[in-house]
């Protein structure tokens, strides 16, 4: 069913119209109508996480665009395009993420990638995406330096934005003439059949990705090529001494997974990154993630102790897992066919939820929101999910044609659970690129040029779409009840619901109405706010006062965001 949304020109049809009110009982936050985050508690359960491909977001240093002779002609969108850590920092400095209400940035892996290219049947491809590791101890110069990473984390933290590092344990990069096999560490077969637990874990994801023997407890030596590389770079002795100290402290055997855990947690201890997004999580024994979590917690605590002035709050380290095809109705268990595994009980605070991209096709907001709230406050109590509508390797996004960007923003950012904004969701970046094969179509460079020109796609101006996502994102950032509160429908028509979050220290209540008329409207708050409460509309800037349990608004928008 099509609905009018008067935030855009009248000719534009959308499915969104919204009325939100909020109450914060302990300490009143600043209205989220400006660019800076309000002063209020941060909860990962309500996080608004921006996910970007490092190479495809923003080029902050053109001098590092070509390294290791990566100059071969590649298939469309399968080579390095110049995005880097410095490019992310520049957008942090510009306030781009603040205006969007982002509370955490997750960027694809930035460790050194294989130097050669491979063809997986989709054309010549370099490791621009970051998932083809050559050396876990060094950043890839295409992405930047350790100085760049330290600066990015520090500047994000100054704005209250957390940083999530994308980590890979499951596999190395493919073998090429320049990139030898991690002999003794990885298997090259059999290829996964996904019939049961073992055929999902002790196997290669695809034919050309060597699989780390994460199940092994047998000690291994450093690969000869890595020893040679470190010696050439003048850091062999330092790296070996650190490994010796790690294995002495932990008493772990020198098995492959423990080396990698050490190397990945070093980035936490050095720079204070706040969390991990764990790649291919179901393809590794769940106990490995518990081992990783223990070391990450220790590393994060060490960083906090060493940098007391830079600590944001008392939140612990965060881990969200990519258990491919995990759907929230499964609750805590993922079914391998012959075994059900509780990843939440093995180090994870949240799992990426593959359900919303299809569930969002349901025209009923209530069906979606009540379903998610019941699960999050039932089977998943004290845990969470990360919802998304588009991603880098999901060929079935909610709106691949980008015909429903307003509806997408409304459903994602108001859905219970944490939200993942995939770079360009907020600017209607195209997801169907001619000439591409496979997931390359999802990975075009960020459409900054279209944003600057306020280009139109499918009847939507880029800046109009961005403004919608910004206002909803800032509202979510300001009010934890949006993602972490308990959902309750108050009225079916006009649709009205409440979200309420209560802790030992504060309470946040949100009342939401969808498909309300533009112009003048009277909303019965159903006792959510006492008379005399002053509220600010986060969308229009209009201020109102609760009288006889109601508020009266007169705005040209079909969406109103009210908060105390």
Strand bridging mode 418-422 / 48-52: parallel
Which has more confidence, 128 or 557? 128
Which has more confidence, 35 or 174? 174
Mean pLDDT of 92-112: 98
Mean pLDDT of 360-389: 97
Which of 163-177, 248-262, 510-524 comes out lowest in average pLDDT? 510-524
Q: What is the pLDDT at residue 393? A: 95
Mean pLDDT of 466-486: 95
Mean pLDDT of 537-559: 87
Number of H helices, E strands in the chain: 15, 29
Place of tokens 């691949």: 400
Q: What is the pLDDT of residues 340-361, one digit of tens each?
A: 999 999 999 999 999 999 999 9
Mean pLDDT of 294-321: 98
Q: In the annotation, is 218 catalytic? A: no
Which of 52-61, 70-79, 379-388, 519-528 comes out lowest in average pLDDT? 519-528
Q: What is the mean pLDDT of the chain?
A: 92
Within a domain: residue 350?
yes
Do the Cβ atoms of 498 and 369 come closer than 8 Å?
A: no
Active-site residue (options: 135, 211, 279, 355):
279
Q: List the Cα angle 31/36/39 in 5-degree steps.
A: 60
Mean pLDDT of 185-210: 97
Residue 554 has pLDDT above 90, yes or no: yes
Within a domain: residue 419?
yes
Residue 3 has pLDDT above 60, yes or no: no
Q: What is the pLDDT at residue 39? A: 60
Q: What is the pLDDT at residue 7? A: 37
Within a domain: residue 346?
yes
Within a domain: residue 340?
yes
End-to-end CA distance of the chain: 33
pTM of the model: 0.94
Cα–chain-centroid distance for residue 332? 20
Residue 301 has pLDDT above 70, yes or no: yes
Query: CA–CA separation, 475 vs 38, rounded Å?
Result: 10
Q: What is the pLDDT at residue 140? A: 98
Q: Which CATH number fits the domain that encloses residue 268? A: 3.20.20.80
Which has more confidence, 304 or 496? 304
Q: What is the pLDDT at residue 20? A: 42
Share above pLDDT 70 across residues of the chain, in percent, rounded to a whole number: 93
Q: In the annotation, is 322 catalytic? A: yes
Do the Cβ atoms of 55 and 127 come closer than 8 Å?
A: no
Q: Which two tokens stand for residue 542?
A: 């209009």
Query: CA–CA separation, 440 vs 367, rounded Å?
Result: 33
Which of 64-68, 250-254, 267-271, 519-523 comes out lowest in average pLDDT? 519-523
Q: What is the pLDDT at residue 349? A: 98
The region that residue 293 occupies, defined by phi over 0 for left and psi between -120 and 50 for alpha, beta otherwise, is alpha
Within a domain: residue 524?
no
Q: What is the pLDDT of residues 414-471, one digit of tens each?
A: 999 999 999 999 999 999 999 999 999 999 999 999 999 999 999 999 999 999 999 9
Active-site residue (options: 322, 349, 359, 394):
322
Within a domain: residue 436?
yes
Q: What is the pLDDT at residue 40? A: 72
Which of 2-11, 121-130, 202-211, 394-403 comes out lowest in average pLDDT? 2-11
Tally of structural domains, the chain: 1
Within a domain: residue 125?
yes
Q: What is the pLDDT at residue 527? A: 86
Q: What is the pLDDT of residues 516-527, one digit of tens each?
A: 899 998 888 888
Candidates 58, 47, 101, 109; CA nearest to 426 is 101
Within a domain: residue 53?
yes
The residue segments making up the domain with residue 371 are 30-174+256-478
Which has more confidence, 544 or 133? 133
The secondary structure of residue 282, as a DSSP letter, is: G
Q: What is the pLDDT of residues 20-60, one digit of tens each?
A: 444 344 333 333 333 444 467 999 999 999 999 999 999 99
Q: What is the pLDDT at residue 536? A: 79
Residue 72 has pLDDT above 90, yes or no: yes
Between the alpha carbon of residue 367 and those of residues 259, 386, 481, 487, the distances in Å are: 46, 18, 18, 11
Which has more confidence, 443 or 513? 443
Residue 5 has pLDDT above 50, yes or no: no
């Amino acid at each position: 069913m099509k609905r009018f949304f008067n935030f855009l020109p009248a000719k534009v049809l959308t499915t969104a119209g919204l009325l939100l009110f909020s109450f914060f009982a302990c300490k009143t936050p600043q209205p989220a109508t400006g660019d800076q985050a309000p002063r209020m508690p941060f909860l990962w359960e309500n996080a608004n996480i921006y996910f970007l491909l490092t190479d495809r977001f923003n080029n902050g240093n053109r001098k590092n665009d070509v390294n290791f002779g990566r100059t071969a002609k590649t298939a469309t969108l399968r080579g390095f395009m110049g995005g880097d850590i410095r490019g992310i920092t520049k957008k942090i400095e510009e306030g781009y993420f603040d205006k969007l209400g982002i509370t955490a940035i997750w960027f694809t892996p930035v460790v050194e990638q294989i130097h050669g290219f491979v063809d997986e049947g989709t054309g010549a491809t370099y490791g621009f995406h970051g998932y083809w590791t050559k050396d876990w101890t060094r950043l890839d110069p295409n992405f930047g330096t350790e100085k760049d990473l330290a600066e990015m984390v520090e500047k994000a933290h100054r704005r209250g934005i957390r940083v999530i590092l994308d980590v890979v344990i499951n596999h190395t990069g493919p073998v090429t003439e320049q990139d030898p096999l991690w002999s003794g560490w990885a298997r090259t077969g059999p290829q996964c059949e996904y019939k049961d637990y073992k055929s999902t874990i002790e196997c290669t994801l695809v034919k050309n990705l060597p699989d780390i023997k994460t199940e092994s407890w047998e000690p291994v030596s450093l690969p000869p090529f890595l020893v040679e590389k470190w010696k050439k770079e003048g850091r062999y002795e330092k790296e070996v001494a650190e490994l010796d100290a790690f294995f002495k402290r932990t008493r772990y055997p020198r098995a492959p997974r423990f080396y990698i855990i050490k190397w990945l947690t070093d980035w936490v201890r050095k720079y204070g990154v706040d969390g991990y997004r764990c790649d291919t999580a179901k393809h590794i024994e769940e106990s490995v993630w518990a081992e990783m979590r223990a070391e990450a917690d220790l590393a994060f605590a060490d960083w906090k102790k060493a940098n007391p002035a830079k600590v944001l709050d008392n939140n612990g380290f965060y881990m969200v897992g990519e258990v491919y095809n995990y759907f929230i109705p499964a609750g805590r268990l993922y079914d391998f066919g012959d075994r059900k595994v509780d990843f939440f009980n093995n180090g994870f605070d949240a799992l990426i939820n593959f359900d919303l991209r299809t569930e969002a096709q349901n025209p009923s907001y209530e069906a979606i929101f009540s379903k998610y709230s019941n699960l999050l406050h039932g089977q998943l109590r004290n845990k969470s999910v990360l919802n998304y509508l588009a991603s880098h390797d999901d060929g079935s996004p909610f709106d691949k044609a980008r015909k429903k960007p307003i509806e997408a923003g409304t459903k994602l950012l108001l859905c219970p659970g944490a939200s993942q904004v995939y770079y360009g969701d907020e600017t209607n970046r195209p997801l169907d690129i001619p000439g591409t094969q496979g997931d390359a179509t999802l990975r075009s460079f960020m459409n900054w040029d279209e944003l600057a020109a306020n280009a139109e796609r499918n009847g939507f101006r880029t800046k109009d779409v961005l403004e919608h996502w910004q206002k909803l994102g800032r509202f979510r950032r300001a009010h934890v009840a949006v993602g972490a509160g308990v959902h309750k429908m108050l009225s079916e028509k006009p649709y009205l619901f409440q979200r309420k979050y209560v802790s030992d220290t504060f309470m946040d209540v949100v009342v939401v109405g969808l498909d309300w008329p533009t112009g003048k409207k009277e909303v019965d708050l159903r006792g959510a706010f006492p008379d005399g409460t002053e509220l600010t509309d986060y969308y229009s800037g209009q201020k109102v006062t609760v009288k006889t349990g109601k508020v009266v608004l007169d705005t040209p928008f079909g969406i109103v965001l009210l908060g105390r």
